[in-house]
Structure 1
Amino acid sequence: MKFLDQCKIYIRSGNGGGGAVSFRREKYIEYGGPDGGDGGRGGDVWIEAVDGLNTLIDYRYQQHFKAETGEHGMGRNRHGHAGADVVLKVPVGTQVLDEDKETLIADMDHAGQRLLLLKGGNGGWGNDRFKGPINQAPRHANPGQDGEERWIWLRLKLIADVGLVGLPNAGKSTFLAAVSAAKPKIADYPFTTLAPNLGVVDLSTNERFVIADIPGLIEGASEG
């Protein structure tokens, strides 16, 4: 499978839930009152760099990511549940770019790095929040705030400890296949490798490094 180094995706945070308009009515209780609960906040959109990934192939088949909407408030001062977040897991070395493909938003250069891309909307207040000496029976509540949305680019930088550089058919892919579990295409004609391949070499349980198989170079290319 060809190395996928960049992709464009759509992200949207969740809307906040609306507040409730409700009044307490119970038997043998003379004075009721407003008891509408608040809506839950919408889910956020996060991005996180994790170990174990080396391509952005997952984002080729799914380009839209939306966090959940917060639940609406209910009577008896019951507040709505917050919407679930969306976490985009990407390989270490992924750059997050704006839709113009030039403005750098983040550079995920180490494992465990986590960044908030879009914040979910706040939940609306229920009518219990608006009661007071003057207005003891408010009949209005706030709707939840809308979430945010945007298109972003994910671009993966090739990160390797060692690069195999040489002429076409020098045996770079063969060497990579011999020392790692990578299975690059190997053939007896020039420029078999069209895209970089990464392979992990395990020396022991605690020692490993990454080799990049780079497409063959042409002798004299630097002179034009």
Structure 2
Amino acid sequence: MRLRVVAAVAAVTVLAGCSTGGPGAAVVVGGTTISMSHVDETAEVICQLSVAQQPEAVIPGAEVRGQAATELALTVVAEDVAEREGITVRESDVRVGEDDRRQIAAQFPDLELDTVIAVLEDGTRVARIAEALGEEASGEEITEQTAAAIQQAGRELLLEALAETDPEFSPRLEIGELAAQVDQPGPLAVTAAAADDEDPAQPVATQTCTA
């Protein structure tokens, strides 16, 4: 199986100056709180999958962490959009099969298998929802020739929906490209109340993704 890493979010509007739901919270989106531990676990999976695809790559851990946080937030919003728009994603299209599970377990013995599976299945689910949205918006059916454009169009609609929820990110997360979208150089500026009980000055768990 070709492991497909969830693509980095290109843009989202972030609401600065808000509490992110208390100690240990990384993101609050649409009333759902995503914990920092969940972000860290997801970031480790994305890191290792990225390295498996690009062994020579050196990816800043903070960048992967920000990607993990935004992808988790996008997953929450995508499911809400799918319910609202009547989009059904078949579990058979998303589920990682037993053979693939065994291959993943063998290739990434240091990772929690259920977390890897969740990242892959959530990524596939979001992609299918984006495709459905893109097809509806463009009036075209997805084919080999139109797939990239339709998926991109659908993802942009999901990003707009995410922005409309006014997501709140912990200042410990370096969102990278997202910060540039709201003219925030580096970690997003939020009030002191948004910080969790860990020291934001401490280095992130994964400094770099390397083989």
> What TM bracket, shorter-length normalisation?
under 0.3
Q: Which protein, 1 or 2, shows the higher relative CO under an 8 Å CA cutoff with sep ≥ 6? A: 2
Q: Return the TM-score normalized by structure 2.
A: 0.22
Q: Return the TM-score normalized by structure 1.
A: 0.21
Structure (1 or 2) with the greater helix fraction: 2
| Structure having the higher Rg | 1
